[in-house]
Amino acid sequence: MLARVGVENIDDLFETIPASHRLDQPLDLEPPLDEPRLMQHLASLANASKGANMLSFLGAGMYQHHVPPAVDQLLQRSEFYTAYTPYQAELSQGTLQAIFEFQTIVCELFGTDVANASMYDGASGAAEAVLMARRIKRRTHVVVSEGLHPEYIETIRTYVQGLDREGTITLAPIAADGRTDWAAAKSLMTDKTAALVVGYPNFFGCVEDLDQARAVADTEGALLVTATAEPYALSVLRAPGACGADICVGEGQALAVPPQYGGPGVGLFGASQPFVRQMPGRLVGRTLDSDGYPGYVLTLSTREQHIRREKATSNICTNHGLIALAMGMRTAMLGRQGFQQAGQRCLNAAHYIRAGIEKLDGFEVPYAAPVFNELVIRSKGPDASEVLSRLAEHDIIAGLDLGRFRDEWRKDLLVAVTELHAREDLDRLLAALAS
């Protein structure tokens, strides 16, 4: 290789670096450690980091729920950990069956007829739903609730921009109770509107009235799209498909893996049967072979690699299959009853925090709408950023500063609780806010 690039030795590769800046002796490294001592050393470094053991109330689309260690151990099996897209059915029956089970779980969560293999995340799923609605209705205008996650809204804008000059995204404002202003949303609907998109629950934690949303969408024959960033909410809420939603998308991270620097996620995507051929991504189907044994295949593949370009509905590629598998494992371990019990604990914790905040002089709960496990807390004094800074000194991450999205929200904190928060944790947050 040195001969090919025309130098005599490795030092010649660094001749552009001044000699005074080059190391002319071996690195001064400590002696090597055996594996047990190395692990102990790394653990001590991690625990010494500021914030390593902070009590967190962050949510806003990524939630900390219990994921049993068994999930992680099973994911490390080589047939799962290295699996790619199951193009060859005869070699991929295990992967295909796992995706089929994942699709079944998504259908049960959303109350839809069909679901596809995993999307990248909730945001890209929402954007793909908008593109799908545009194809189905052959319209270019979309009304999006301001209560949808701001980053979902930006992702939708990114996907839509450049498709055509007529396509527009119009935001429907939030009413005083924290939910979509349905009168305003109705006034924005036109005969060019392809879809109405709402969060369920929305970004502020408020549970939208999907009956109202369905009625508004129907005024102009538009599709209703819901986006659920917290899947545990569906343990106590009516499934969006049962409420009349045509396309239901969401984020499955909370049911699969812990939050890790904002990812990875797993997009959930379900829809009504008549729209199945306009869905993005892939669908795995189950059939019987000539001997009567079950077999799994890619029933629908809608990207350009598989079909003529003009027939493709999306170019979304490798799905987040490993995270989808983790979600399938976790939901199987939870079961229907465990899922509902965990959801009820989240709901109870949110009510406890809400009642506690209403007793504090310096804070208020600005939105009266029902919530699941997340709510907005408004400071009557310092900005939310200062509140967060002060509580961080007490090893508490009190939530998300909404001022990062809009200046008018600078007093607002978005606080999330889950089944992992004990009563003492909730009391600790309330006491810190009171102080």
Residue 151: per-residue pLDDT: 96
Using CA atoms, how far apart are residues 129 and 304, in angstroms rounded to an integer?
18
In angstroms, the Cα distances linking 432 to 106, 365, 426 are: 39, 17, 10
Q: Which domains does the chain have, with CATH numbers?
A: 57-65+335-434 (3.90.1150.10), 69-330 (3.40.640.10)
Per the CB < 8 A criterion, the answer to whether 198 and 173 are in contact is no
pLDDT band at 317 (very low <50, low <70, confident <90, very high): low
pLDDT band at 421 (very low <50, low <70, confident <90, very high): very high
Chain length of the chain:
435
Residue 401: per-residue pLDDT: 98
Residue 313: per-residue pLDDT: 79
Using CA atoms, how far apart are residues 355 and 351, in angstroms rounded to an integer?
6
In angstroms, the Cα distances linking 91 to 102, 237, 282 are: 19, 40, 18
Per the CB < 8 A criterion, the answer to whether 250 and 268 are in contact is yes
Helix 150-160 to helix 122-137 angle (10° resolution) is 50
DSSP code for 307 = S
Residue 307: per-residue pLDDT: 64
Q: Which of 8-17, 225-234, 338-347 has the lowest mean pLDDT?
A: 8-17
Give yes or no for residue 309 having a pLDDT over 80: no
For 38-90, write each residue's pLDDT tens digit: 999 998 888 887 666 799 999 999 999 999 999 999 998 888 876 667 778 88
* pTM over cut 0.75: yes
Q: Which of 201-215, 310-324, 345-359, 360-374 has the lowest mean pLDDT?
A: 310-324
Grouping H, G, I as helix, E, B as strand and the rest as coil, residue 320 is coil
- The mean per-residue pLDDT over the stretch 351-377 comes to 97
